Amino acid sequence: MIKENQKLLNILQLVIDAVIIAASFLLAYDLRFDDTWSPLIKHHIISPPIGYMRPWGDYLRMLILIIPCYLVMYRLFGMYDPKRTNGRRAELWALIKANVLGVVYCVAALYLLKEPNIARLFLIIFAGTNLVVDYIFRLCVLRILKQMRRSGKNLKHILLVGFSRTAQGYIDRLRSHPEWGYKIHGILDDHAGTGTTYRNIEVIGSTNRLADLLATNEYDEIAITLSINEYSKLEHIVSICEKSGVHTKFIPDYNHVIPTKPYTEDLDGLPVIHVRHVPLSSSFNSTIKRCVDIFGSLVAIIIFGIPMLIIACILKITDPGPLIFKQTRIGLHNHEFNMYKFRSMRVQKENEEKKAWTTQNDPRITPIGRFLRKSNMDELPQLFNVLKGDMSLVGPRPERPFFVDRFKEEIPRYMIKHQVRPGMTGWAQVNGYRGDTSITKRIECDLYYVENWTLFLDFKILFLTFFGRKVNKNAY
């Protein structure tokens, strides 16, 4: 069974981690003190400890204390939990947190114990060495395990209860990632007939068979994927699963209503789930983002000031009409604002602008306008929108009132995007959804951004805007 394999793997990993910590400690000791070969001393990165007798006994006592401390921190940060679906970044982040906390713990301990014989720089060298060595080891382990699972080994055997759209979505994801190592043995459902299949996964009977199947002890997990209109059975099914001791997961059928990471609160013992969690509704988050917007827009205006002046001159010479095109868009909290762009089309009547998005080979686009659109340079005046506070550097792209009125009736959750400031670029744009593309996919990307905002995600989107392959896709 996979449970026994996981226990064995955890014990083995615990032992190897202890060896890596000890090896990193010894390597850091030599890097800091051994002036016969240390590259840090040889290349004058650090100074040799002149006249300093290396108290190896003191360091050895510290090593004995550090190993169990680090192993406990690894455990606290979930580094021994099953992580079939975790990526390399999650593993790296857990290691960084453990090593940073380890350094803080050691420094605090030395301060409290008033220990003068331990070099503080040594602790930093040790933490960095341990981080690199342990991360390389874990990458190797992840790679080996993924290869084993793709070849049909180290599999987790699961049974689904409920044939629904949630079950189909769950199966789709597991099929797309064979390296996760999940083997689905079938589905139990009270409505779909026995023999009904989805992607070669078969309905093998009704939910009445659950207790008998669990008695065989052949399953590592039960995934409850009931449709929302069958939730009256949920308590009974969970009771059967818990009686057998099998690990049980519940995949809700209301993920189209509640976000992937719902915000919950404890109301005197009563769990309350907020239907929508918007990180930027926090005053702290919104203030940080606004400061980044102001600083970023000012820097960008300085950098692109001369190119914008050159573009203005070319537009004035090549085509009559205004340099800046102002268009009404819907922004934060459904408020209208004028969005600025370099004019890339011939002058039109206002009612003609509302008909449709720009398409490929649109006859309204001027020759210089085509270049500006393809290079996104027509968007540069929106830096002043950002400075004014109408827009952000990153966020869902704003739409015209005509399309907002139409889409809010046609597309569920469309208006949620207006809970944050619209942006010059966004998650949808760097994934290729701009112009005349699927509005549904675009809104999915916008909602992901609204519900999962972080400052790191903003920087990632800005990076992909300049260096990503998809950002100029469908830019007409």
The model carries a pTM of 0.61
Claim to verify: residue 320 and residue 412 sit in the same structural domain:
yes
Does residue 85 form part of some domain? yes
Who's near 215: CB < 8 A, 6+ residues apart? 244
Q: In the prediction, which pLDDT does 329 show? A: 94
Q: In the prediction, which pLDDT does 50 show? A: 46
Claim to verify: residue 329 and residue 388 sit in the same structural domain:
yes
Q: What is the pLDDT of residues 397-446, one digit of tens each?
A: 999 998 898 888 888 788 889 999 999 999 999 988 876 677 888 988 99
Q: In the prediction, which pLDDT does 52 show? A: 45
Type of residue numbered 68 = P
Q: In the prediction, which pLDDT does 79 show? A: 84
Claim to verify: residue 213 and residue 343 sit in the same structural domain:
no
Q: In the prediction, which pLDDT does 51 show? A: 40
Claim to verify: residue 9 and residue 134 sit in the same structural domain:
yes
Does residue 51 form part of some domain? yes
Claim to verify: residue 172 and residue 146 sit in the same structural domain:
no
Q: In the prediction, which pLDDT does 461 show? A: 94
Claim to verify: residue 143 and residue 160 sit in the same structural domain:
no
Q: In the prediction, which pLDDT does 204 show? A: 95
Per-residue pLDDT of the chain (476 residues; tens, 9 = 90+): 555 566 777 788 889 999 999 999 888 887 777 655 455 545 555 555 544 445 666 778 788 888 888 998 888 888 887 777 777 888 888 899 888 888 888 877 777 767 666 667 788 888 999 999 999 998 998 888 888 888 888 888 999 999 999 999 999 999 998 888 899 999 999 999 899 999 999 999 999 999 999 998 889 899 999 998 999 999 999 999 988 888 899 998 876 677 666 777 788 888 887 777 788 988 899 999 999 999 999 999 999 999 999 988 988 888 777 888 898 999 999 999 999 998 877 666 655 555 555 655 666 677 777 788 777 888 999 999 999 999 999 999 999 998 898 888 888 788 889 999 999 999 999 988 876 677 888 988 998 899 889 999 999 999 998 887 655 555 54
Does residue 20 form part of some domain? yes
Q: What is the pLDDT of residues 206-240, one digit of tens each?
A: 999 999 999 988 898 999 999 989 999 999 999 99
Q: Which token pair is 169?
A: 């979505």
Does residue 274 form part of some domain? no
Who's near 118: CB < 8 A, 6+ residues apart? 58, 59, 62, 110
Single residue among 118, 150, 182 that ends a domain in this structure: 150
Residue 195 belongs to domain spanning = 156-255
Claim to verify: residue 419 and residue 314 sit in the same structural domain:
yes
Does residue 472 form part of some domain? no
Claim to verify: residue 119 and residue 172 sit in the same structural domain:
no
Single residue among 105, 121, 150 that ends a domain in this structure: 150
- The total number of structural domains in the chain stands at 3
Claim to verify: residue 167 and residue 139 sit in the same structural domain:
no
Does residue 181 form part of some domain? yes
Single residue among 97, 121, 150 that ends a domain in this structure: 150
Claim to verify: residue 463 and residue 391 sit in the same structural domain:
yes
Q: In the prediction, which pLDDT does 4 show? A: 56
Dist. CA 391–CA 296, nearest whole Å: 12
Does residue 276 form part of some domain? no
Claim to verify: residue 369 and residue 452 sit in the same structural domain:
yes
Claim to verify: residue 160 and residue 138 sit in the same structural domain:
no
Does residue 180 form part of some domain? yes
